[in-house]
Structure 1
Amino acid sequence: MAKIALITGATAGIGEACAHLFAAQRYNLILTGRRADRLEALANRLNDKYNVEVAVAAFDVRNRDSVASNLESLPAEWRNIDVLINNAGLSQGLEPINEGDPDDWDRMIDTNIKGLLYVTKIVSNWMVNNGYGHIINLGSIAGKEVYPNGNVYCATKHAVGALSDGMRIDLLKHGIKVTAVHPGAVETEFSEVRFKGDSDRAKKVYEGFTPLVATDIADTIWWIVSRPAHVNINEITVMPTAQATGTNIFRKS
């Protein structure tokens, strides 16, 4: 019987890369994201290429009722989830705290923390009933340190780390693994979203060095999931060779 992985934020970047890699490993997939057209197109590509079953659910993780209605409407056989990848997340703005936009704060907190909780609440109960499962939470180097003007984003990713530790304790007796993955600079849509569509500013973030790409993190996640049953990777930080800390990056002139 094929295993099942649920991936949030699957329409681009790390989530999409994970979808391809897990499909290649013969997992059936539940893919979620805000952009229904992208989800459907991805599902069709995965089905054609890997001959796996793919269910899609278009919703914003910030909307608790939408999360619940979409997930709870899945057929019973789709609730036997082996792996949950809480990938949906974002950053908005890069300003000092006194100049920050409260709307940006709300979007980051609601997506990175509350959205993760809404999905985990439902899926973890299914895993408890099944007696197995592995939850992967996408954190960030911003969850291991704090950098100038990163204030609220860093706070949300620190929360992901704390929630991962708490989940691991709470779900221990149910045999459910929990891992936090903390990437450094990964060239995806991340910076373009942070800078609200300013692609020129986003490109400058990755100039002068070789950043990680989405498949690097997907490969890491697969390695974590494929460890023996008695092995859990509690957390892992993955950085480009050129990056030592969140802001310490060696750029070639």
Structure 2
Amino acid sequence: MSCSSAVSPASSPLPGNLYGATKYAVAGLAENTRLALTDSHVGVTLVNPGRVESPFWDDLGGPPDGPMLHTDDIARAVTWALTQPGGVDVNTVTIRPFQAAV
């Protein structure tokens, strides 16, 4: 299980481009790991959460305006991915609040 961000396949709304680039790198690593392990029957899941209420925003002047996910929302998505039947490989889960571009 790897965690990236909903901004990994898109432009980051945060100042600078390093955050989006690092999250895109995590997505690439997860996909390459999945390909390397596919014959071993080892699943690799990448979770891309959108905006989540968390301390992440503290150093950025507070959370952005608009809807936010809760940490429990992400936990439920991870639990869902991990509890799929044998033979099911959930590759990517992107979860965002409604009315949020990223």
The 5 A counterparts of 1:104-143 are 136-143=1-8
Return the letter of the residue paired with 2:4: G
Identify which of 40, 51, 55 aligns with 1:189: 55
Unpaired stretches in structure 1, ≥5 consecutive residues: 1-135, 196-200, 247-253
Q: How many aligned residue pairs are there?
A: 101
Higher helix share: 1
Once the two structures are TM-superposed, the CA of residue 146 in structure 1 deviates from its matched residue by 1.0
Q: Percent of aligned positions with the same letter in both sequences?
A: 31
Identify which of 60, 63, 70 aligns with 1:213: 70
* Deviation by residue 1:21-46 (Cα, 9 ceiling, x = unmatched): xxxxxxxxxxxxxxxxxxxxxxxxxx
Q: Does 1:156 align with 2:22?
A: yes
Counterpart residue number, 1:72: none
Identify which of 202, 211, 225 aligns with 2:62: 202
Higher strand share: 1
User: Would the aligned equivalents of 2:41 and 2:87 in 1 still touch at CA under 8 Å?
Assistant: no
TM-score (norm 2): 0.91
Once the two structures are TM-superposed, the CA of residue 173 in structure 1 deviates from its matched residue by 2.0
Compare CA radii of gyration and give the structure with the larger one: 1
Going from structure 1 to structure 2, the CA distance change for 1:242 and 1:234 (only over 3 Å counts) comes to same
| Aligned equivalents of 1:182, 1:146: Cα separation in 2 | 14
| Aligned equivalents of 1:150, 1:220: Cα separation in 2 | 29
Once the two structures are TM-superposed, the CA of residue 212 in structure 1 deviates from its matched residue by 0.2
Unpaired stretches in structure 2, ≥5 consecutive residues: none
Return the letter of the residue paired with 1:202: G
User: Would the aligned equivalents of 2:8 and 2:24 in 1 still touch at CA under 8 Å?
Assistant: yes
Return the letter of the residue paired with 1:213: H
Identify which of 38, 45, 56 aligns with 1:179: 45
* Deviation by residue 1:157-207 (Cα, 9 ceiling, x = unmatched): 000100000000111122110011101110111111x43xxxxx214x1x3
| Aligned equivalents of 2:6, 2:85: Cα separation in 1 | 27
Identify which of 9, 19, 22 aligns with 1:144: 9
Counterpart residue number, 2:85: 228
| Aligned equivalents of 1:185, 1:140: Cα separation in 2 | 9
| Aligned equivalents of 1:162, 1:221: Cα separation in 2 | 19
Structure 1 stretches of at least 4 aligned residues deviating more than 2 Å after TM superposition: 147-150
| Aligned equivalents of 1:153, 1:187: Cα separation in 2 | 18
Counterpart residue number, 1:239: 96
| Aligned equivalents of 1:167, 1:233: Cα separation in 2 | 13
| Aligned equivalents of 1:147, 1:172: Cα separation in 2 | 31
Give the number of the structure with larger relative contact order, counting CA–CA contacts within 8 Å between residues 6 or more apart: 2
Once the two structures are TM-superposed, the CA of residue 150 in structure 1 deviates from its matched residue by 4.0
